[in-house]
Amino acid sequence: MAYFDAASGAPLHPVARQALLACLDEGWADPARLYREGRRARMLLDAARETAAEAVGCRADELTFTSSGSGAVHTGISGVLAGRRRVGRHLIVSAVEHSSVLHSAEVFEAAGGSVTGVPVLRTGAVSVESYADALRPDTALACLQSANHEVGTLQPVSDVAEVCRAAGVPLLVDAAQSLGWGPVRGDWSLLAASAHKWGGPSGVGLLAVRKGVRFAPQGPVDERESGRATGFENIPAIVAAAASLRAVRAEAAEESLRLRELTELIRSRVPRLVPDVEVVGDPERRLPGIVTFSCLYVDGETLLHELDRAGFSVSSGSSCTSSTLTPSHVLKAMGVLSEGNVRVSLPAGTTAQDVERFLEVLPEAVAGVREKLGAPVATTAATRGDSLVVDALGRRCPIPVIELAKVIGDVPVGGTVRVLSDDEAARLDIPAWCEMRGQEYVGEEPADRGTAYLIRRTT
């Protein structure tokens, strides 16, 4: 079985395992106590903090260990918004942030705050100008991930941090995906990350808050971790997280080159092996190890099951996966195809043989899913004046696009097809199909049920 979902959670690094087992016998006591066992636990905790701070690029007394990366994000956002409430109640986030950031923004907005969502380019990256335009006199905080978790695109953090610093606005960086590969450059103010993304144990996050940032922890304040995290520290897991971060950093330069070659192999060969595929994300400014592509006329959940049976664990941002009936907010913000979406994220140590075997299995898996979905359930096309109507009401992705593809050749060049659909994914996938197939997407209009999407045949 080849595990290709490291962006969700990397396998436990051998150094993390060794440190965790060793520390179970040494780091179990309360580090706040003055007796011998407590002092030993405190030494382990302090050493882990020094190690992690060095990797992050901050002072040890600026770094807090939390129970998760999401917890670090929530604490960081709420703390700064409360600490700077006299400045204003305006928050800036990008449209492709991790759900932990967007959930914090939703809570803040529900409480009366104002949130600006910064759009992204088709590559998934923000422009520095868009952040500069979003800044206001009452902006309390801006957030920007260092790299996208679904498509791997790197963000211009350093330049955005410079713009924010000039405006006197702190920038929080979610570095969960990138920290194992290197420090986040630029004059950021806060940084959050999660150990299970770089091969540390799950249940350990970190939050760095630079000196000088106005910060007011919310909720009951504990005496531990500078009041920014509650409860007894999980010292064995913290030590393992710090040790594995140092280890993966030592391996990062060599492993990065190797994984980039493997992902470039996937990026270049998948479109040649599988027809009607869109490879998404920035082709150059990207993390090593992550490559994402979307397949027309494919149900995402079914494709993932087929690949799982073939021995490959991958994930998807498709609207057709079992976890959601709406398209990935990342793919939606990018304006790319969401149906049949596959994210391959290679862990350290992935072999070229595993990648070659994946490329052998993928075309057959996609073809099998397309064959299952290819036959129409009933006649769905009807004429309406000088246009063709496709009734796809009540049918989930990718059926509306499949039915559109079947009938587009039945109208003359310049003629239109009107697709009726009540699936939210159609709002993204039909325009994406038009761009891929060289047809003109005219727009949408209300219908008696659902929405009517208008497509003009141009080729």
Kindly list the catalytic residues: 320
CA distances for 149 relative to 5, 153, 287, 315, 391, angstroms: 11, 8, 9, 11, 36
Nearest to 398 by CA among 276, 228, 311, 283: 276
Q: Which two tokens stand for residue 204?
A: 């350990």
Query: What CA–CA distance (Å, rounded) separates 365 from 367?
Result: 6
Looking at the DSSP assignment, which residues form a beta bridge with residue 444?
Answer: 453
Q: 278: closest CA among 94, 437, 455, 457?
A: 437
DSSP assignments along 188-255, one per residue: -SEEEEEGGGTTS-SS-EEEEE-TT------SSPPSSGGGTS-S---HHHHHHHHHHHHHHHHHHHHH
Cα pseudo-dihedral 367, 275, 256, 198, rounded to 10: -50
Contact 49, 235 (CB under 8 A): no
| 418, amino acid identity | R
CB-based burial of residue 406 (10 Å sphere; 0-12 exposed, 13-18 middle, 19+ buried)? middle
Q: What is the DSSP letter of 60?
A: G
Chain centroid to CA 423 = 23
Return d(Cα 346, Cα 8) in angstroms, integer. Answer: 11
User: In whole angstroms, how far apart are CA 372 and each of 50, 118, 363, 368, 377?
Assistant: 55, 39, 14, 6, 11
What are the two backbone dihedrals, phi and then psi, of residue 432, each rounded to the nearest 5 degrees?
-65, -40
CA quadruple 146, 149, 150, 151: dihedral sign = positive
3-class DSSP state of 97: coil
Which amino acid, residue 219? Answer: G
Instruction: Give dist(CA 245, CA 236) in Å, integer.
Output: 14
